[in-house]
Structure 1
Amino acid sequence: MLDSILIPALLGIIEGLTEFLPVSSTGHLILAGALLGFTGEGSVAFNIAIQLGAILAVLIAYRQRFLGVAGGLLRRDRDAILFTRNILIGFLPAMLVGAIFYSAIREAIQTPVVVAVALVVGGVLILVIERLIQIPRIDSVERMPLRTAVAIGAVQCIAMIPGVSRSGATIMGALLMKVERKTAAEFSFFLAVPTMLGATVFALWKDRDLLTFDDMQAIGIGFAAAFIVALVIVRAFVAVVSRYGFAPFAWYRIILGSAALIWLL
């Protein structure tokens, strides 16, 4: 009984800590699940669904921004319309790819070795991209050209490979497209809202016949833990990135992925 509470809570804490960092929350959940013996059919939907807790944290942390956009849409304010356009356009590629390749993605999500390799490769790429970053030209989501939003949305699809990191892919892609660091991080946060909401609803619907009452209870516990932790992390991450960049997260990925490979192989 204790494990049925502690394990989902621990995984929820891990989700909250890692969802908005470029280190792959799904990768961490897969590796932690393998270590704790939390595997099987229900674990896939669990790993996807508890991300909604972290997404709720974004809505709370940036509530003034979202309320401002909602009010602006009612007034037909140009900035609010552009903000909404860029988020929805950025979401479309992931929606299409996720719906078409859900079965393949679901199978890959249960492969810890794929996660470990992706962590190492992704860490190396972050170090390389940090050196390629040019002087930014885009300093707000509203000022982002349509083609840039589409391109970042396409890059987000790479994160469907477990271990890549959705936030890492979108932020690094944005930086290569000359988006300023803080704006790149915030666009990644905002883009996560429709992306993870869509992924969760789709996963729960597809796996509805596989989920038991205990699975739904575990999801509820993980959701709550992820929300509480992410509420603290989401603001702190922007401050850390603005000051130190992404190199610390890259080295963390490389070390964790290497250790996981040694353990798995």
Structure 2
Amino acid sequence: MNTIQAIIIAIIEGLTEYLPISSTAHMGFTASLLGMEESDFLKMFQVSIQFGAILSVVVLYWKKFFDFKDLHIYIKLTAAVIPALVLGYLFDDAIEAVLGNQIAISTVLVLGGVVLLFVDNWFKNPVILEEKDITIKTAVTIGFWQCLAMMPGTSRSAASIIGGMTQGLSRRAAAEFSFFLAVPTMLAVTVYSVFVKTWGKGTATEMKGYEMIMQDDNHIQLFVLGNVIAFVVALIAVKTFITVLTKYGFKFWGWYRIIIGIGLLIYFYTAK
């Protein structure tokens, strides 16, 4: 991976992490279109730069995250993230195996787009407009919905926002809680991928994520650069998404997923 490729991947991560269009799918497709060789470092890089995107939400909602007078938000997020931590650990190998199957991911992208076309009609009368009205039970339910995104191409954002709307949250409240939930979820995924997971297990290149990063100066520079760019781009994307979602709903994103997904299916089938 060279610097230009790393910058492009990081921009894609920042733009798509909080949109209901699957950042994993878009980074994978981008890497394929750029002709990048699939490697453990590339996979780890795509996961680790989510840390930069996470920080954008912490900065934008810093009053919420650092309001230590009200511990309810921490309790809700802790309860909501548990399903993803448990199931993510159990199915880590299966998830990684799907990451290289671009046709399967493209198909999920299209199917998810079809769902988004109808979401606004399904949930028209929200009863929860603010995070403070979300119960722990509701938070856990949203946490289980988030687990649907373990299938690459689904979108963690889409799954958790729709999960929130099934529980009576407004589009805005569901989107914001999805952003909050991304922080512990993606932080756990990043820490696991960088410090715990052994990449290339059973091969001569077996090593931890941080060992790959520290392998040479180029890897360190790419890691730092990727996180900085993902952070800056995500700041812009989060604010824009909230505005568009509140005004126009999910249909735009649904059609986007369908069009991009069909285009990618054609590309990957003809490229065989």
Q: TM-score, normalised by structure 2?
A: 0.89
SS at match of 2:84: helix
1:101 & 1:135 partners in 2: Cα distance?
Answer: 36
Task: Say whether 1:144 aligns with 2:119.
Answer: no
The partner residue of 1:121 within 111, 126, 149 is 111
Aligned to 2:231: 227
2:54 & 2:79 partners in 1: Cα distance?
Answer: 18
Quote how far apart the aligned CAs of 1:37 are. 2.3
Kindly indicate whether the alpha-carbon contact (under 8 Å) linking 2:10 and 2:230 is maintained by their aligned counterparts in 1: yes
SS at match of 1:142: helix
Quote how far apart the aligned CAs of 1:216 are. 4.0
Task: Say whether 1:24 aligns with 2:25.
Answer: no
SS at match of 2:230: helix
Aligned to 1:77: none
Aligned to 2:7: 9
Which amino acid in structure 1 is aligned with residue 245 of structure 2?
A: V
Quote how far apart the aligned CAs of 1:82 are. 2.1
Number of equivalenced pairs: 254
Aligned to 1:50: 49
Residue range with higher mean Cα deviation, 141-150 or 8-17: 141-150
Quote how far apart the aligned CAs of 1:222 are. 1.4
Kindly indicate whether the alpha-carbon contact (under 8 Å) linking 1:46 and 1:215 is maintained by their aligned counterparts in 2: no
1:220 & 1:106 partners in 2: Cα distance?
Answer: 24
Kindly indicate whether the alpha-carbon contact (under 8 Å) linking 1:138 and 1:179 is maintained by their aligned counterparts in 2: yes
In structure 1, list runs of 5 or more residues that go unmatched: 73-79
Aligned pairs (5 A) from 1:161-180: 161-180=151-170
Quote how far apart the aligned CAs of 1:219 are. 2.4
Kindly indicate whether the alpha-carbon contact (under 8 Å) linking 2:119 and 2:250 is maintained by their aligned counterparts in 1: no
Superposition misfits of 4+ residues, deviation over 4 angstroms: none
Task: Say whether 1:250 aligns with 2:254.
Answer: yes
Kindly indicate whether the alpha-carbon contact (under 8 Å) linking 2:50 and 2:186 is maintained by their aligned counterparts in 1: yes
SS at match of 2:26: helix
Kindly indicate whether the alpha-carbon contact (under 8 Å) linking 1:87 and 1:149 is maintained by their aligned counterparts in 2: yes
1:18 & 1:45 partners in 2: Cα distance?
Answer: 17
Quote how far apart the aligned CAs of 1:128 are. 2.3
Kindly indicate whether the alpha-carbon contact (under 8 Å) linking 1:15 and 1:226 is maintained by their aligned counterparts in 2: yes
For residues 171-208 of structure 1, what are the alpha-carbon distances to aligned partners after superposition, in whole Å with 9 as ceiling and x for unaligned? Answer: 01111221011110100000000000000111113146
Aligned to 2:84: 94
Aligned to 1:41: 40
Which amino acid in structure 2 is aligned with residue 46 of structure 1?
A: F
Kindly indicate whether the alpha-carbon contact (under 8 Å) linking 1:86 and 1:142 is maintained by their aligned counterparts in 2: no
1:227 & 1:7 partners in 2: Cα distance?
Answer: 17
Kindly indicate whether the alpha-carbon contact (under 8 Å) linking 1:97 and 1:157 is maintained by their aligned counterparts in 2: yes
For residues 123-161 of structure 1, what are the alpha-carbon distances to aligned partners after superposition, in whole Å with 9 as ceiling and x for unaligned? Answer: 001112222113111122221122211111001111011
Which amino acid in structure 2 is aligned with residue 190 of structure 1?
A: F
The partner residue of 1:239 within 235, 240, 243 is 243
Kindly indicate whether the alpha-carbon contact (under 8 Å) linking 1:90 and 1:151 is maintained by their aligned counterparts in 2: yes
- RMSD value over aligned CA atoms? 1.4
For residues 235-258 of structure 1, what are the alpha-carbon distances to aligned partners after superposition, in whole Å with 9 as ceiling and x for unaligned? Answer: 221111111111101100000000
2:98 & 2:226 partners in 1: Cα distance?
Answer: 22
1:243 & 1:128 partners in 2: Cα distance?
Answer: 16
The partner residue of 1:260 within 247, 257, 264 is 264
Kindly indicate whether the alpha-carbon contact (under 8 Å) linking 2:84 and 2:185 is maintained by their aligned counterparts in 1: yes
In structure 2, list runs of 5 or more residues that go unmatched: 200-206
Residue range with higher mean Cα deviation, 125-134 or 156-165: 125-134
Kindly indicate whether the alpha-carbon contact (under 8 Å) linking 1:27 and 1:162 is maintained by their aligned counterparts in 2: yes
Q: TM-score, normalised by structure 1?
A: 0.92
Percent of aligned pairs with the same amino acid: 38
Residue range with higher mean Cα deviation, 213-222 or 179-188: 213-222
Which amino acid in structure 1 is aligned with residue 2 of structure 2?
A: S
SS at match of 2:132: coil
